[in-house]
Structure 1
C-alpha cells in the first residue's frame, strides 16, 4: 500500500501541531498557513494534508490541543462544584495562553475531541442537577462567560486576573442556579 506524502515525510499529527504552535507564536494568526507550517517542518505543503484537512482543521486542532491539559470532572463529582471547577480551570488555562484567546472567541470555542469530552462531562453534571433539555444552552452560556472573562483578563484592563476570576466564579454560580431554578 503506498504511503501518503505526510507519511513519506515522516510527519505525525503531533509534529504538525508543534510546528503550528511555533509558527503561531512567532508570526501570529496572519502568519499561520499550511505553507508556513510546512516550511517550519521542512516539507512540501501537501505533506500536511495527511494530518490536517485544511487551515480551519489546523486551527481547530491547535485550539483543542490546548484544552487537552484540562481533565473533565468525573461523573460522580458534586455537579455545581464540578461545573465551576472546570470553568475556572479553563479560565486559568486561557490566561496561560493569552495569544489564543482571540482565536477561541473568533471560532466560538474549540471543536475537537478534548472540547467534546469537556462538554459531555458538563452535560452529565447538568443532568444530575435536573437540566436535560437545555443542557447544551447552559454549557454554551458557561463557556461564553468563561471566554468573556478570559478576554477581559488578557486585555490591557484595569481589573486584575484575581478580581476577574472571582467575578467569574460568582457569575458561574448565578448561571448554574438560574439553569436549575
Structure 2
C-alpha cells in the first residue's frame, strides 16, 4: 500500500499540531494556513492533508489540544464540586491563553476528543445529581457558555473588571446553574 505524502514526509498529527501552534503564536489566526504550517515544517502543503482535513480541522485540533491540559473530574467526585472545579480550571486555562478565547467563542466551544471527554465526565456528575440525559446536555452547554463568556470578559483588551473578580462571579453563576438544574 503506497504511503501518503504526510507519511513520506515523516510527519505525524502531533508534529503538524506543534507547527500550527508556533505559526498561530507568531502570526495569529490570519497567518495560520495549511501553507504556513507546511512552510514551518519544510514540506509541501499536500503533506499535511494526511493528518488534518483542512484549516478548520487544524483550528479545532488546536482548541481541543489546549483542553488536554485539563483533568476531567473523576466519576466519584462530589458532583457540584467536580463541576465547579472543571469549569474554574477551564476559565483559568482560557485566561492564560487569551488569544484563543475568540476562537472558542466563534466555534461555540471545542469539538474534539478532549472536549467530548470533559463533557462526558460532566454528564456523569450531573446524572449523580439526578439530571437526566436530555437535560444534562443543556446544563453542560450552559456551564460552558458561562465559562467562555466570563473568560471573554476577563481577557478583553478593554476589560473593566479584573479576572479575580470575574472568576468569583463565575463561581456563583456555576452554582446557580447547577442548583437550577437540580431543583
- TM normalised by structure 2 equals 0.98
Q: Cα deviation per residue 1:107-139 (whole Å; 9 max; x = unaligned)?
A: 010000000000000000000001112000000
Tell me if 1:174 matches 2:176: yes
Report the RMSD for the aligned CA atoms in angstroms: 0.6
Displaced runs of 4+ in structure 1, greater than 6 A? none
2:162 to 143, 160, 174: 160
> How far, CA to CA, are the matches of 1:44 and 1:51 in structure 2?
13
Q: Who is 1:67 aligned against?
A: 67
> How far, CA to CA, are the matches of 2:84 and 2:112 in structure 1?
22
Q: Who is 1:93 aligned against?
A: 93
SS in 2 for 1:134: helix
Equivalence map 1:23-172=2 (5 Å): 23-132=23-132, 133-155=134-156, 156-172=158-174
How far the C-alpha of 1:158 sits from its partner, in A, is 1.5
SS in 1 for 2:48: helix
> How far, CA to CA, are the matches of 2:96 and 2:11 in structure 1?
28
How far the C-alpha of 1:2 sits from its partner, in A, is 1.4
Where structure 2 has 5 or more consecutive residues not aligned to the other structure, the ranges are none
Where structure 1 has 5 or more consecutive residues not aligned to the other structure, the ranges are none
